[in-house]
Amino acid sequence: QLVLDTLDAHGTIADTRLLTIPGQSLPASSHEEQITILGALNSLLSREMIKYESHEISSHALTAEGAQIVNEGSHEARVWAALPAKGHGKPLTPVQLKKQVGDETAKVGQGRAFKNGWIGKDGDGLVKLVPAIQDTTQIDLQEIASTGTLKAGEKTLADLRKRKLIVQRKGQWFTVHKGSNFSTSTAKPETDLTVDMLTSGAWKTSTFKKYNFDAEGVPTYGGALHPLLKVREEIRNIFLEMGFAEMPTSSFVESGFWCFDALFVPQQHPARDLQDTFYLSDPKQSLPPEPEYYKRVSTVHEHGGFGSTGYRAPWSHEESSKLLLRTHTTASSAHMLYKLAAKCRGEKVEGDEGEFTHGATSTSGDEKDDGFRPAKLFSIDRVFRNETMDATHLAEFHQVEGVVADRGLTLADLIGFMRVFFNKMGIEKVRFKPAYNPYTEPSLEIFAFHPMLDRWVEVGNSGMFRPEMLEPMGFPKDVRVHGWGLSLERPTMIRYGINNIRTLVGHKVSIEGIENSPAVMF
Ligand code: PHE
């Protein structure tokens, strides 16, 4: 109000140090007062009632000792006052002086009083040499207390600073002008137009707060995609742009039949061990698969067929019907391939013609239609393995899997596909190494050159599905299916420079890290 009234009366305030705040004990020019004034100025500025410029100054303030000198005189003055004039009474010994004025004052004051010629020795004691003194230290400090500075100049100020009687402070003062909304009323402007204001007509005279179109607003927090999901999206896009369709992969629980038997994985295969696979205790057993297909699969295992000798080992229905958490998404691929071969088996397929095949037709052309339609399928989803957990292994991870079915595909097609696919993921140098999978022949491990590690690292597994798997499903003999799989975690950890899987998945993951993780582009 003082600022507004002063502006109203004088138009401007040239120097806020000249404002006297009523009822305040401090001098207007003091640092504290200017801070109070600054608060008021900023509040008025935000309502555009005023404008101001600030000016920097350095000012001086008294220390506690300096303030004591202003009230009681300097140490030297107190020493002088305590002593008798020469020839008028008994001189005081240094011990007596200490008793009278205190240790500190006696010690500091004596030296300075001697230097000023105010006191002298008389025998063993001390006496006044002059009848009156001028206590310049006290006078200087009084001036500093009220003005923040000394007319005498920097040399004296420096001396007082050295004596720790004053300290230097950076200060501010202000020049103030009227703003575009200047008024002497500090009533807060309205922020909302209310029904009451409309009915009473108060809106006509009210002042309204201006809209701040530059305000950034309260940040809104939405969900954030986990890095694994971001990489999944990138890989999904690669598949989609290559014409692949996504397979449904929602069944985490599979039977031994679909996870292993349908893929021609021998029933004694170590991957089926309790150490490698999680089995369900309740329910323990799956519903039976379609009986004729089941028969063809069990026969090819036990006795062979389709040109194969089979495993020649007794078939276990119990092993086949065990429920488990799928150990690979190839279990889902098997379901899909079985479905893809439905027409070839002579089943009537309604409605979903071309569901996964984009309506593509058989490439053989001239022969009669055997119902086969080529397909390119992919999935990216979770699998579970009973692994010993360490920095790079958890009991669950994501698999990326691609499957291509067409007539007369060769290993060269598979290699060509993978080169294109990994290239799109930013991996230019790939190498293939013969490997073994129970369900593919030939099988290839895929290696990529890691420029940062400066070596070849394994990135995936692939192969041509065996006829022992495809033919019991009902595919014509010339249909070949190849596939490849890789983990989602590996490329994600490389992309985000993570070397411990636990910082990516699980309770140690930092939510903030997830929120701030950048988008990924291969
Ligand atoms: N299922 C294989 C794995 O778990 C990957 C794979 C998929 C291999 C398709 C060949 C064909 O590693």
State in Å: Cα 277 to ligand 1 middle: 16
**Unique residue bearing structure tokens 């004088």:** 10
Q: What angle do CA 28, 34, 35 make, to 5 degrees?
A: 140
Closest to 266 measured CA to CA, from 201, 213, 323, 311:
311
Residues 232-247: tens digit of each pLDDT: 999 999 999 999 999 9
pLDDT band at 351, cuts 50/70/90?
low
The residue contributing the CA closest to ligand 1 atom 2 is 485
Residues 201-217: tens digit of each pLDDT: 999 988 888 888 898 88
Q: What is the pLDDT of residue 469?
A: 97
State in Å: Cα 249 to ligand 1 middle: 15
Residues 441-486: tens digit of each pLDDT: 999 999 998 887 788 989 999 999 999 999 999 999 999 999 999 9
Assess whether pLDDT exceeds 80 at residue 354: no
Q: Which of the following CATH numbers is that of domain 75-134: 1.10.10.10, 3.40.50.300, 1.10.3470.10, 1.25.40.10?
A: 1.10.10.10
Q: How far apart are CA 500 and CA 390, in angstroms?
A: 8
pLDDT band at 186, cuts 50/70/90?
confident
pLDDT band at 25, cuts 50/70/90?
low
Alpha-carbon 378 to chain mean position: 32
**Ligand 1 within 6 A of 483 CB?**
yes
Decide: 260 and 271 in contact? Cβ < 8 Å: yes
Domain spans of the chain? 2-62+155-178, 75-134, 229-359+371-516
Tell me which CATH homologous superfamily contains domain 229-359+371-516.
Bira Bifunctional Protein; Domain 2 (3.30.930.10)
Find the helix or strand (DSSP H, E) in which 487 lies: strand 479-487
Task: Say whether the peptide bond before residue 438 is cis (omega within 30 degrees of 0).
Answer: no
Decide: 501 and 393 in contact? Cβ < 8 Å: yes
75-134 and 229-359+371-516: same fold? no
Torsion angle defined by CA atoms of residues 205, 209, 211 and 216, in that order, rounded to the nearest 10 degrees? -170
The residue contributing the CA closest to ligand 1 atom 4 is 328
Q: Whole-angstrom distance between the N-terminal and C-terminal Cα of the chain?
A: 63
**Ligand 1 within 6 A of 484 CB?**
yes
Testing ligand 1's pocket by substitution, the residue of 330, 462, 488 carrying the most ligand atoms inside 8 A of its CB is 330
For the CA of 333, the nearest atom of ligand 1 = 9
Testing ligand 1's pocket by substitution, the residue of 401, 404, 469 carrying the most ligand atoms inside 8 A of its CB is 401
- Contacts of 349-357 with CB under 8 Å at 24 or more apart are 355/245, 356/245, 356/247, 357/245
**Ligand 1 within 6 A of 34 CB?**
no
Q: Mean pLDDT throughout 100-117?
A: 91
**Ligand 1 within 6 A of 491 CB?**
no
**Ligand 1 within 6 A of 485 CB?**
yes
**Ligand 1 within 6 A of 330 CB?**
yes
Of 248-257, 355-364, 375-384, which range is least confident? 355-364
Q: Mean pLDDT throughout 107-126?
A: 91
Q: What is the pLDDT of residue 367?
A: 59
Closest to 126 measured CA to CA, from 153, 91, 102:
91
- The angle, 0 to 180 degrees and rounded to 10, between the axes of the packed helices 154-162 and 136-147 is 100
Q: What is the pLDDT of residue 147?
A: 84
pTM confidence score: 0.61
The residue contributing the CA closest to ligand 1 atom 10 is 462
CA–CA distances in Å: residue 522 to residues 295, 420, 461, 483, 493: 46, 13, 21, 22, 13
pLDDT band at 355, cuts 50/70/90?
low
* DSSP line for 361-388: --S--SS---S---EEEEEEEEEE--PP
Contacts of 412 (CB under 8 A, 6+ apart): none
SS3 of residue 464 by DSSP: strand
